[in-house]
Amino acid sequence: MEQRTDDKSTGEEHWRDVRRNNLLDAAGRIFARQGYDAASVDDIAFEAGIGKATVYRYFASKEALFEAVFAQTLDDLEVRLDTALLREGNFRERLTYLVAEIVPTVRTHLSTIRDLNEGENSKRRIFRRRRGAIAQRLITVIEEAQRRGEARIYDADMAARLLIGMAWTGVGADYLSDVEVTRDVVDMALNGIAQGRPAPEGVVTRLKPGQRGRGGRAPS
C-alpha cells in the first residue's frame, strides 16, 4: 500500500511538472508575440488550453510567470553556451559558436528582452544579472584568445557587452538571417568596419537615414 501511494505521488508530481512546462512554453509564445504589457493571463491560458484559474495555481501573477519564462529561456541558453565552450577551434570559430547561440534566442524573445531592458528597475536588475552570466562565457573566450595572442588587449568585459549589443541590433534588422547576423557580428568584432569585404549591393541603403531596426535600444 505504501509503495502504491509513493507511485501515485510521483505520478502527480510528474504531471504537475508537465503542466507547468506547457504553461511556460505557452506564456513564452505569447510574450514573444505581444510583449509583456500587451499580453494577458487570459491570452496565456487560452494558448495553453487551460482555465485562467489554473494559471494562478502555478504562478501568483503575470509578472511571476514572466520572470519564470525569462529564467527558463536563459537557463536553456546558458546550457547551450556551456556546450559551445567545449568545442575546439581558433578565436573566430569559438566566438562564432557562442554568438550563433545568442542570436536566435534574442530574435525569438526580442519583445521579452526589450520589456525587461526598458522596464522598471526591478525587471532591469533581473535582465542585467542574467546578461552578466551570458557575457561571462564570451569573456572566457576573449581572455583565452588574448593569452594566446589571437586578440588585442582590450577590456574583455566591455568587449563581451559590445558583442551582446551588436547581436541585439543585428536581430533588429529584419532582412538579416540568424546566420548573417552571427557572421556580421563576429566579422565586425574581429575586423572592425574600416576595411574588409565590400557590402553587398543595396544592403547599406535598406535602412533610411535615422531609421532603426525593430530591436529598439540596445541593452544597457
> In this structure, which amino acid lies at residue 144?
E
pTM of the model: 0.72
The reported pLDDT for the residue numbered 9 is: 60
Length of the chain as a residue count:
220
pLDDT-derived band at 140, boundaries 50, 70, 90:
very high
Please, are residues 151 and 145 in contact by the beta-carbon 8 Å criterion? yes
Domains of the chain, start order: 1-59 (1.10.10.60), 63-220 (1.10.357.10)
pLDDT tens-digit series, residues 40-71: 999 999 999 999 999 999 999 998 998 888 88
**Grid coordinates belonging to 82:** 556551456
pLDDT tens-digit series, residues 119-134: 666 666 777 778 888 9
pLDDT tens-digit series, residues 168-189: 888 887 778 999 999 999 999 9
The reported pLDDT for the residue numbered 204 is: 41
Please, are residues 44 and 27 in contact by the beta-carbon 8 Å criterion? yes
pLDDT-derived band at 8, boundaries 50, 70, 90:
low
The reported pLDDT for the residue numbered 213 is: 42
Please, are residues 149 and 142 in contact by the beta-carbon 8 Å criterion? no
pLDDT at 137 exceeding the cut of 50: yes
pLDDT at 17 exceeding the cut of 70: yes
- Alpha carbon separation from 79 to 5, 21, 84, 197 (Å, rounded): 35, 17, 9, 34
pLDDT at 212 exceeding the cut of 80: no
pLDDT tens-digit series, residues 18-38: 888 899 999 988 988 888 888
The reported pLDDT for the residue numbered 129 is: 77
The reported pLDDT for the residue numbered 128 is: 76
pLDDT tens-digit series, residues 91-124: 999 999 999 999 998 888 777 777 666 666 666 6
